[in-house]
Amino acid sequence: MAIQIILLCGLIIFSVLAILLKDLIKAALSLAVASLFLGIIFFLLAAPYAGVFEISVVAGLITVLFVLTIALTKKDGEVKESRIVHLAFPIFFILFIVIDGLVMKSLLQKIPVLPIGPEAGTFGEVLWKQRTFDLVAQIGIILAGVLAVLALFRKKEEDKDE
């Protein structure tokens, strides 16, 4: 219970920070943290599916992308090379992969989600038998994410090319 309260407090604090901070980078980072907390809360509340989603998509991929792109771009659109960026990118990327991997693993193995319904089973079963369609959407999301990365980082590549 205590953990939950801490998480909730963290969630609120970081959410508020995300909202209030005028520096976009800091705001985005706060958002990422908040989302992370939220994902964990979902997870603890036995709503792992939502939790996965929250962490994987919102907290992870997209926020990170934004932090980076914002950090890379000054007001006039020039590329800003800074150390923080170099550090932040690997850190967040690794973090994202680790968390995502852990969550997915645990989800697929042991959690019997969607308890109601004729064929209650493991998440994997549900995912494949009943909610096949969501898989398509997941593929879409991943595709979108990848493509977004490609698109948003192209400027950097271009700059390097030049």
Partner 1 sequence: MSSTILLWTILFPAVVAIILFLIPGRIKFLREIIAVLASGALFYLGFLLFSQKNLSLVSDWLGMGINFDLRLYHFSAFILLALAGFLFLICLYSAVKMQNHPRIREYYGYLFLAASFSFGAVLANNFILLIFFWEALLITTYALITLGLKATSHRTAVKSLIIGGFCDFSMIMGIGLLWASTGTLAMDKIQVEPHGLAAAAFILMMIGAIGKAGAMPFHTWIPDAALDAPVSFMAFMPASFEKLLGIYLLARITLDFFTLRAGSTLAIILMIIGAATIVLAVFMALIQKDFKKLLSFHAVSQVGYMVLGIGTAIPIGIAGGIFHMINHAMYKCGLFLSSGSVEHRTGTTELKKLGGLAREMPWTALGFSVCALAISGVWPLNGFVSKEMVFHGALETGYPIFAIAAWVGAIFTFASFLKAGHSVFFGPRSTEIPKTKESEAPIVLPILILAVLCITFGVYNKLPLQTFIQPILEGKVEAGVPLDFTSHALDLFNPVAGVSILCLIIALGLHFYGWNRGGRKAYLASEPIHNLPVLRQLYDLSEARFFDLYEQGVKFLQWLSKVLFRFIDRPIDYIYEKVVVSIGRTFTGLLQKAHNGQYANYLAWTIGGLVAVVWIILELLK
Partner 2 sequence: MVFSFIVIPLLVAAFLPLIGKISKKLLPDVLTNAALAFLLFNSILLVKPIFTNGFIIQNLSWLGEKVNLQIALDGFSLFMLFTISLVSLCVSLFSIDYLEHYGHKANFYALFLVMIAAMNGLVLVPDLFSVYLFMEVAAVASYALVAFGLGSDELEASYKYLMLSVVASAFVLLSITVIFGLTGNLSFQAVAQGLQDLNARIVLGVCVAFFIMGFGLKAALIPFHAWLPDAHPSAPAPISAMLSGLLIKVSGIYALFRILYSVIGLSPALSRLLMALGIISVLVAALLALGQKDIKRMLAYSSISQVGYIVLGLALGTPLGIAGGLFHLFNHATAKGLLFLNSGSIQHITGTRNLDELGGLGKKVPITSGTNLVGALSIAGVPPLAGFWSKLIIIIALVQAKAFGYALVAILASILTLWYYLLIQRKAFFGQVREKWQQVREAPFWMSAANIILALICLLVGIFFTPVYKTWISPAAEALARGIHQVLMWGL
Q: Judged by CB, which is closer to partner 1: 20, or 147? A: 20
Instruction: Give least dist CB 58 to partner 2, A.
Output: 6
Stretch that binds partner 1, among 6-14, 19-27, 41-49, 117-125 (CB under 8 A): 19-27
Closest CA to 31 of 53, 8, 64: 64
List 73's β-bridge partners, or say none: 79
CB contact burial 96-107 (16+ within 10 A = b; e otherwise) = beebbeebeeeb
Instruction: Give least dist CB 129 to partner 2, A.
Output: 6
| Residue 19 found at the interface with partner 1 (CB under 8 A) | yes
Among 6, 8, 9, 20, binds partner 1 (CB under 8 A): 20
The CA distance from 89 to 79, in Å, is 15
Among 1, 2, 5, 76, binds partner 2 (CB under 8 A): 76
| 34: its two tokens | 């908040």
Using DSSP's 3-state secondary structure scheme, residue 79 falls into strand
- For helices 154-161 and 132-152, angle between their N-to-C axes, nearest 10 degrees: 30
What is the contact surface with partner 1 in residues (CB under 8 A)? 19-20, 27
What is the contact surface with partner 2 in residues (CB under 8 A)? 18-19, 24, 27-28, 31, 35, 38, 47, 50, 53, 57-58, 62, 65-66, 69-70, 73-77, 116-117, 128-134, 136-141, 143-145, 147-148, 150-152, 154-155, 158
